[in-house]
A = this chain, B = another copy of it.
Amino acid sequence: MLQRLFFRLERFGGLSEQEKHALQEAVARTRLVNAGEDLSGVHEYHCNLVVEGLACDYMLLPDGRRQITNLHVPGDFCDLDLLLLSASDRSISALTPVKIAIIPHHKLLDLAERHPRILLALWRDTLIDAAISRECIANIGRRNAFARIAHLLCELYIRLQSVGLVRDGAFELPLTQTDIGDATGLSVVHVNRTLQRMRADGLITWVGHQVTVRDQKRLEAAGEFRATYLNLRVDPGHGSGDRLARRFVVYPT
């Protein structure tokens, strides 16, 4: 059930078998959400974790325009923030049929108390989401359409790769061009024309829901993409995260 999550977490040390087991046990049940449906209502006292499919955070503006603020691939928590915040500023919706693992807040709280490393993994996950958001701000604020879309595709490539969903440079991406537009702050029409150029340039192919990155280097250059912000590689030299985690292991509560 949580393999994708665990697989991703391996990248920075991972969890012990015991911790994994505890997390697995915390899953109360699973749920299927149809494409286009909101997850709302569910997340009163539960966290939702994507097991299969693609979901997104979005905000609706008064005039009906939509802005997608993040995508959730398998292994991602959707709404960890509701564990600590009372006000939700966005909605979460399924872009494809999505299988969700539902973890009650109280169980996650138990885990956090008994397994500090799990608490840290959760916090860390929310911090990476924040880094993704920052990158998105720079993307939308300062790049043109071509670069924005290139950047988005690069990010998805790495994120999907980190959960084992890329094969030979290709991955399933069941997004409509409207979705791409809502995620990059562009109109559908412009997304369409830009994607045509991107395909013509030989950077990608996009057939059905199958996207293939034909020239990752040039795509990354076009999107000014550097994967570091995703924190998907272990970099033992910097930061105190490992130290913090180690402490919590040495002195378990």
Contacts and interface: CB of A to CB of B under 8 A. Distances in A.
Interface of A: 12, 44-45, 57, 59, 61-62, 65-67, 69-70, 81-90, 105-106, 109, 112-113, 119-120, 123-124, 126-131, 133-138, 140-143, 184-185, 224, 228-229, 231, 233-244, 247-248, 251, 253
Contacts of A244: 83-84, 105, 109, 112
Given A61-B142, A141-B140, A109 B231 contact: no
A121 to B, nearest CB: 9
Given A61-B142, A247-B109, A247-B113, A241 B133 contact: no
B127 A251 contact: no
B240 A83 contact: yes
A137 B57 CA distance: 11
A137 B85 CA distance: 19
Nearest to A183: B141
B251 A109 contact: no
21 contacts: A59-B135, A66-B142, A69-B134, A69-B137, A83-B241, A84-B120, A84-B127, A84-B241, A85-B131, A85-B231, A85-B239, A86-B234, A86-B236, A86-B237, A86-B238, A86-B239, A87-B238, A89-B134, A123-B123, A130-B130, A133-B136
Contacts of A234: 86
Contacts of A82: 239-240
A126 B120 CA distance: 13
A224 B70 contact: no
A65 B142 contact: yes
A34 to B, nearest CB: 24
A243 B109 contact: yes
Nearest to A120: B84
A141 B184 CA distance: 7
